[in-house]
Amino acid sequence: MKNDKIKSYAKLNLALNITGKSSTLHKIESIVAFVSLHDQILIKKIKSKSHIISFIGEFSKNISKKNTVSKLLQILDQKNLLKQTKFEIKINKDIPNRAGLGGGSMNAANILKYLIKKKFIKVNKKEIKNICQLIGSDVILGLKSTCSILHSKNEIRYFKNCKKFYTLIVKPNFGCSTKDIYSKVKKF
């Protein structure tokens, strides 16, 4: 089987507010835009006992074996939604890690969207929301890569005629862990 190609666009939070915390994740409100910077995902069905996930490219270093893509596949396997089907996924990372651009979350979202579109999995909207929430609070935004507002109750409002922005993204030589930054927030 040949590889299918997916573009996974970087997400830019134009505004972000942490409104509370559930048992595992922080609840956020955010105004979001997507930029042309993207990771390239190659995916194909394979005959194997396990999924194969690899990362290449400039920003592929230090990506843990436990990442959003492996978490997505683990959840789908646990729910038996893939029915023993396994995939080889190769991600060319052009979105910097630990830059607040949602690279990993958007990778998981776009793979989930692909699996639904190609009918490898059959899920309703409630199940999709649940799967996204198990991975990360911003994953749901990647299912429709367009300007939107994410409300704290995980409701999304999409903009119909969003103005295009020219965006200059500057990435310093250090990164920040979203988990570490969120852990410092004490008042909601």
The token pair at 84 is 């023993």
11 is catalytic: yes
Catalytic residue among 11, 66, 86, 171: 11
Catalytic residue among 94, 126, 129, 138: 138
45 is catalytic: no
d(CA 162, CA 42): 29
Q: What DSSP assignment string belongs to the chain?
A: -PPEEEEEEEEEEEEEEEEEE-SSSEEEEEEEEEEEEEEEEEEEEE-SSS-EEEEESTT-TT--SS-HHHHHHHHHHHTT-STT-EEEEEEE--SPTTSSS-HHHHHHHHHHHHHHHTTSS---HHHHHHHHHHH-TTGGGGGS-S-EEE-TTS-EEE-SSPPP--------S----HHHHHHT----
The token pair at 76 is 């789908």
Q: Which residues are catalytic?
A: 11, 138
